[in-house]
């Protein structure tokens, strides 16, 4: 009698285990499929910027501010209380070159993402680039000022072309593509040693200070350049024992533009507490033009 009762019980247990196996497999399949679908999702600007900032571990820890920076100090459409506001501020100080009127909800193209990534690579160090130009069959679709970034990322093997040498610059970048480019950027930075920057043509930077208010001093950095295509920007300020050390860098001309050779004075301005003395710090790596 006991044997007769055991058989249905064992059968029910086997059915239950089999059903759980099928259910688990179905769930895993559904989860895997969802993951693949998420990878194909096109990114908006807020997500793209956050991915770059988090993926490359960017920060502004080395900069001390008189006033806490807010997103609206740099962008017209990024709200200060948004979840991604801090990422946009960090991006501002890490060379991404994001447009002031960027719409956080707007979709990001492949060329746009490439330009932001290259802006960060340039900010990170002055890397030597071999003088080659890869043919891009849809180059006529690339926005003026973006090709140099694409070419450099091709050399660095951060981006690639398809079998017909197309880059698809105007296509919206997907999460999977963005993650792959960020991963390859990390590999490039890890394995490539930057050169010592050559700013011999713009090394006569002068620093002057003026009273702004009783508590704030206006600091001006200036130098002469061969033409107006060059730029001068302040990259950070270190405060210690009554001294504010101003770090700066030279921005190279846009390679896609022509400039009249006229000696031009470049200036960069910042503000420090009036009880600090401003001095020049070590020049940071030369940056490429950010459009």
The tens digit of pLDDT for each residue in 18-57 reads 555 555 555 544 545 554 555 679 999 999 999 999 999 9
What is the average pLDDT value for the chain, to the nearest integer?
84
User: How many CA atoms, within 13 angstroms, populate the side-chain half-sphere of residue 106?
Assistant: 12
Q: Looking at per-residue confidence, does 207 or 15 come out higher?
A: 207
User: pLDDT tens digits, residue range 72-105?
Assistant: 999 999 999 999 999 999 999 888 999 999 999 9
Predicted pLDDT of residue 202: 60
pLDDT in tens, 202-228: 668 899 999 989 889 999 999 888 888
Q: Which two tokens stand for residue 71?
A: 């997103």
- Please list the residues that pair with 132 across neighbouring strands: none
pLDDT at residue 251 greater than cutoff 70: yes
**pLDDT confidence of residue 14:** 54
More confident residue, 291 or 47: 47
SS3 196: coil
pLDDT at 184: 97
Alpha helices in 40-124 (DSSP H): 45-55, 85-92, 110-124
């Amino acid at each position: 009698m006991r044997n007769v009762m055991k058989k249905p019980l064992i059968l029910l247990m086997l059915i239950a285990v089999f059903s759980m196996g099928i259910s688990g497999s179905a769930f895993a399949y559904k989860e895997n499929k969802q993951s693949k679908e998420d990878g194909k999702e096109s990114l908006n600007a807020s997500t793209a910027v956050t991915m770059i900032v988090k993926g490359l571990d960017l920060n502004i820890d080395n900069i001390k501010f008189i006033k806490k920076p807010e997103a609206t100090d740099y962008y017209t459409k990024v709200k200060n209380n948004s979840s991604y506001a801090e990422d946009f501020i960090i991006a501002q100080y890490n060379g991404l070159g994001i447009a002031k009127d960027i719409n956080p909800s707007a979709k990001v193209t492949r060329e746009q993402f490439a330009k932001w990534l290259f802006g960060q690579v340039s900010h990170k160090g002055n890397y030597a680039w071999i003088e080659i130009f890869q043919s891009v069959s849809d180059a006529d679709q690339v926005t003026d000022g973006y090709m140099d970034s694409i070419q450099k990322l091709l050399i660095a093997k951060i981006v690639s072309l398809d079998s017909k040498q197309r880059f698809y610059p105007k296509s919206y970048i997907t999460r999977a593509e963005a993650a792959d480019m960020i991963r390859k950027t990390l590999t490039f930075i890890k394995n490539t040693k930057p050169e010592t920057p050559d700013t011999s043509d713009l090394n006569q930077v002068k620093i002057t200070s003026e009273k702004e208010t009783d508590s704030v001093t206006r600091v001006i950095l200036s130098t002469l350049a061969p033409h107006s295509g060059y730029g001068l920007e302040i990259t950070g300020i270190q405060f210690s024992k009554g001294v504010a050390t101003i770090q700066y860098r030279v921005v190279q001309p846009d390679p896609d533009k022509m400039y009249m050779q006229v000696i031009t004075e470049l200036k960069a301005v910042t503000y420090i507490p009036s009880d600090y003395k401003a001095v020049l710090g070590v020049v940071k790596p030369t940056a490429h033009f950010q459009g």
